[in-house]
Amino acid sequence: MALIQPFKAVRPPKDKAAVVASRSYEDYSKAERKAHLEFNPFSFLHIINPGYKFKKTISGVERFSLVRNRYLEFKEDHVFIQDPEPVFYVYKTRTRNHSFCGILAGTSAEDYKNNVIKKHEDTLEKREQLFKEYLKTVGFNAEPVLLTYPDNNSVQEIVEEVTAGVPEYEFTSIDRITHYLWKLDDKKKIEELKSAFAQMDSLYIADGHHRSASSYLLAEELKAENPDHDGSEPYNFFMSYLIPESHLKISEFNRMVKDLNGLTKQEFLVKLDEWYRIENRGSELYKPSKKHHFGMYLDGEFYSLYLRKSIYEFTDSLSELDTQILYETVLKPILGINDLRNDTRISYGYGQHNVVKMKDLIDNDKFKVGFGLVPVSVEEMKNIADEGLQMPPKSTYIEPKLRSGLIVYEF
């Protein structure tokens, strides 16, 4: 039984939505960030980069307090206003090739604790604690956790009815993504939507494992500090963007390694032959098209690698995952990469033209060898979450990527 709640969003008025909303901070180059901060006084980047006002880089706890101050200034200047009643929000984005549509809602920290909201990635305790302290200081969350659920006719009918109306926001950002937002404020529809989700056994985290873990830690801490706690307080929920599985887009991360761990090319290929049937594809770009098949680029040539299933043992959902197979058969035993998160010899790439980028980096001696994979499926992601397992890092690049500052959830 999944619990979702409407909430009173803090958000920009219609005429400022397009200039307030920003991509995630890391998604901008240094030059782009500087241009936005210099020429757009309404950008949400001013809140999350508060040191710009003082022409100074500020970090740690001092930054948290200044983020809070910039946020309050946006409210004082009516760049942010708060809706008077709790509602749900339907948010849609459209690119040239894809359309995503889902529901912004408060989701339950207790559901996270009880594994109704399921995870497929491990989290780092240090990052959880740091972000928990950040949330406690600033008092808001401006970037929702991305959750997915099985396609549901009842939910879809409500969404279609809402999106048939005039949107609250409609604008196109400079990356050519068109954004739409509707308020779902009909009390009957609100209850119908809550009821539809209450009949679902599970929700799955697609993106935002650290955000959801930190929100749960904050809820536990504030609960312990509140003698009048009754479970209805905003801190018992965290903002999520709930999207049906059919709308989710998962792309692969390729792997690139800087050396062959002291092996010659011939020695490396001989060791690889133990696990894979190897075919030389020459200089023509090659991408794998099936599970358990891999592409490899080495010394100016592409190879296809076909797993020898007779010697590789499948024991659970994780063992069947291609990123795990590559780690267990190549990266760890042959190339000596044990720590996928911290080893500086390995790097990751994603995107439509990533095979070309990978080839260019290797041809320019930035890396020695690269591996291409097929994307992880939603079903694989769910199976791993259901079994309480964790994927290797950089197993999935998941879209949609959401704007910060368009909808803000206050604790």
Domain boundaries, the chain: 4-249+399-410, 253-374
DSSP assignment of 281-294: EETS-----STTEE
The residue with tokens 């959830």 is 409
List Cβ neighbours of 348 (8 Å cut-off, separation of 6 or more).
Answer: 253, 254, 255, 256, 394
* Residue-by-residue pLDDT tens, the chain, 411 positions: 999 999 999 999 999 999 999 998 888 888 999 999 999 999 999 999 998 888 888 888 889 999 999 999 999 999 999 999 999 999 999 998 889 999 999 999 999 999 999 999 888 788 899 999 999 999 999 999 999 999 999 999 999 999 999 999 999 998 899 999 999 999 999 999 999 999 999 999 999 999 999 999 999 999 999 999 999 999 999 999 999 999 999 999 999 999 999 999 999 999 999 999 999 999 999 999 999 999 999 999 999 999 999 999 999 999 999 999 999 999 999 999 999 888 999 999 987 678 999 999 999 999 999 999 999 999 999 999 999 999 998 899 999 988 899 999 999
List the one residue out of 317, 335, 336 whose CA is nearest residue 395.
317
Residue 274 tokens read as 């133990």
- Residues forming a β-bridge with 186: none
Residue 385 tokens read as 């979450």
Dihedral sign for Cα atoms in the order 313, 319, 322, 326: negative
* pLDDT given for residue 82 in this prediction: 98
Q: Is the peptide bond before 400 cis (omega within 30 degrees of 0)?
A: yes
Question: How many C-beta atoms lie closer than 10 Å to residue 379's C-beta?
Answer: 10
* pLDDT given for residue 175 in this prediction: 87
Q: How far apart are CA 394 and CA 372, in angstroms?
A: 13
* Pair 219, 114: CB distance under 8 Å: no
pTM metric for this prediction: 0.91
* pLDDT given for residue 74 in this prediction: 98
Q: How far apart are CA 321 and CA 315, in angstroms?
A: 11
List the one residue out of 112, 83, 78 whose CA is nearest residue 6.
83
Q: What is the pLDDT of residues 215-235, one digit of tens each?
A: 999 999 999 999 999 999 999
* pLDDT given for residue 152 in this prediction: 97
* Pair 317, 383: CB distance under 8 Å: yes
* Pair 240, 152: CB distance under 8 Å: no
* pLDDT given for residue 27 in this prediction: 84
Tell me which DSSP letter residue 84 carries: S
* pLDDT given for residue 70 in this prediction: 96
Q: How would you classify the pairing of strands 88-94 and 178-184?
A: antiparallel
Stretch (H or E) spanning 325: helix 322-326
Between vectors from CA 215 to CA 214 and to CA 219, what angle results, nearest 5°? Answer: 115
